[in-house]
Amino acid sequence: MLIYIKYINYIEIRILKNLLQILTIPCKKIILFFFNYLYTILFMDKKIKVAVIFGTRPEAIKMAPLVLELKKHSEFEPVVIVTAQHRQMLDQVLDLFEITPDFDLNLMKPNQNLWSLTSEILMETKKIYEEVKPDIVLVHGDTTTAFASALSAFYARVPIGHVEAGLRTFNKDYPFPEEINRVLADAVSDLHFAPTEGSVQNLLNSGIKEGITNGDIDSSYETGRRIYKTGNTVIDALLYTVEKNTDLSHLGLRDDLKTILLTSHRRENFGKPLENICDAVLDLVQKNKDIEIVYPVHLNPNVRNTVFSKLDGIERVKLIEPLDYAPFCALMKKAHIILTDSGGVQEEAPSLGVPVLVLRDETERPEAIASGCVKLVGTNKEKIASTVQKLLDDNSFYNSMKMAVNPYGDGLASKRIANIILGNFSK
Ligand code: UD1
Ligand code: UDP
């Protein structure tokens, strides 16, 4: 009898054990699932989803260090969106910084216009914001991409951070349409990352008040906007790149000649002003047998048609394709003088100690002019040619402009911006 009971017990225990074992398999799964879920709400959801959006070469160069910085922080989930307002000139930057976009709108069309590009960016970013639901959208500067994607984020009620906020000429037609693009981007933004004290003041003067709220981002979003002086991320990009000392032998530059680097692409210089610039170049190479002018020609057909028809085949004028950022930095460093209407080049060249003449009548970047290494010469042929001539002939004038100053940053702007976003958004 006893044996029988023991046997029954033994069988019951075996059955119970097996039953438990069968049960623990799904139990284990349920427990694992539960912990996974708990981990997701506790930790994953705490990530701050930062949508970084850009489309042109200069935006890419200036946003790339920030993307790399955001990736270093486990608190962020960066989502890179490119409009591809530029295609080839954007891709070379993505390659250099090894950034793979999460969304590529691939919008560029040959000789595109402002209307279609603006409306396409508005419509396409709407879909992405709805899908991604970012905590903040970061835009850069003054391009159509910056303005349209900021407006789109504003419509979607997503907080906006404007990198390179507060630049102004206070002339709505110069540069066109960039002055209005940046005014509008600032107007809809919540966090303003101003590169210099001047840009901070411009924002304050335009009614954007510093530190109105001390609550979290939601109250800030409703009642006030914030301004932070961060420096310009272009210096972060330049320092990252220039130390690569990229080889320029493929350009076949002559060692016995002084290199003058030229870039010009601004809309307001299309037509006659750009022709004047080309005429000044013709004048200069004719008078000075010891100079070589190197012009990486922007891919905009409005630029290329004028430049190639005026300068193609001229001795000691090298018209080349736009350079990738690393060789371009090496070329800026090697140049004796730089002539440019580019915003980015005006900011970078002072760090390299190369005199810069700006081919515009107005600039939103007065800091380098104040420091002495940059001068505005406009687009008058005689003024350009005579100022370059003075730099070539007058050593003391040249030396007075050849100084390495860094009014736009110290290479830490991206770090500051990332920390500021953390401070505003940590949940
Ligand atoms: C744009 C910006 C300008 C910025 C400049 C930087 C606006 C209104 N303008 O001017 O603020 O200073 O970029 O370079 O946002 N193209 C190519 N491949 C490229 C890039 C351009 O073929 O990689 C050609 C295309 O034909 C394109 C045209 O250039 O349609 C014009 O491009 P777009 O971005 O509209 O104007 P940009 O003059 O480049
Ligand atoms: N740049 C480049 N290759 C070139 C010419 C310029 O990489 O052939 C870089 C330059 O160093 C600067 C940026 O492009 O960082 C400026 O872009 P662009 O002049 O097109 O625009 P802007 O700054 O005027 O808006």
Report whether 154 contacts 160 (CB < 8 A).
yes
pLDDT at 217 (0 to 100): 36
Rounded to whole angstroms, the Cα distance separating 334 from 330 reads 6
SS3 content of the chain, % helix, strand, coil (to 5): 55, 15, 30
Rounded to whole angstroms, the Cα distance separating 319 from 307 reads 8
What average pLDDT does range 388-395 have in this prediction? 98
Confidence of residue 381 (pLDDT cuts 50, 70, 90): very high
Around 108, how many Cα atoms within 13 Å sit in the side-chain half-sphere?
17
What average pLDDT does range 20-39 have in this prediction? 58
> Would you call 91 a catalytic residue per the annotation?
no
Residue 61: both structure tokens together:
């160069």
Q: How far is the CA of 142 from the centre of ligand 1 (A)?
A: 12
Mean of the per-residue pLDDT values for the chain?
89
Question: 375 has which bridge partners?
Answer: 357
Residue 178 CB less than 6 A away from ligand 1: yes
More confident residue, 37 or 96: 96
More confident residue, 224 or 390: 390
pLDDT at 68 (0 to 100): 98
In this predicted structure, the answer to whether residue 69 has a pLDDT above a threshold of 70 is yes
Residue 324: both structure tokens together:
């990738």
pTM over 0.95: no
Q: Whose CA is nearest to atom 11 of ligand 2?
A: 345
CA of 93, nearest ligand number: 2
Confidence of residue 404 (pLDDT cuts 50, 70, 90): confident
What average pLDDT does range 182-203 have in this prediction? 94
Residue 192: both structure tokens together:
């303003």
- Mutation to probe ligand 1, out of 61, 108, 342, 345 (largest number of atoms < 8 A from CB): 108
> Which amino acid makes up residue 362?
E
Q: Residue 280: helix, strand or coil by DSSP?
A: helix
Q: Whose CA is nearest to atom 36 of ligand 1?
A: 300
In this predicted structure, the answer to whether residue 238 has a pLDDT above a threshold of 80 is yes
In this predicted structure, the answer to whether residue 8 has a pLDDT above a threshold of 60 is no
> Which amino acid makes up residue 71?
K
Nearby residues of 413 by Cβ (< 8 Å), 6 or more positions away: 65, 66, 193, 195, 230, 231, 232, 233, 235, 236
In this predicted structure, the answer to whether residue 54 has a pLDDT above a threshold of 80 is yes
Cα of first residue to Cα of last residue in the chain, in angstroms, is 68
What average pLDDT does range 318-327 have in this prediction? 98
Confidence of residue 223 (pLDDT cuts 50, 70, 90): very low
Name every protein residue with a CB atom under 6 angstroms from any ligand 2 atom: 57-58, 61, 263, 265, 296, 322-323, 325, 328, 342-345, 348
Q: What is the DSSP string of 52-88?
A: EEE-SHHHHHHHHHHHHHHHH-TTEEEEEEE--SSSH
Confidence of residue 207 (pLDDT cuts 50, 70, 90): confident
pLDDT tens digits, one per residue of 72-115:
999 999 999 999 999 999 999 999 999 999 999 999 999 999 99
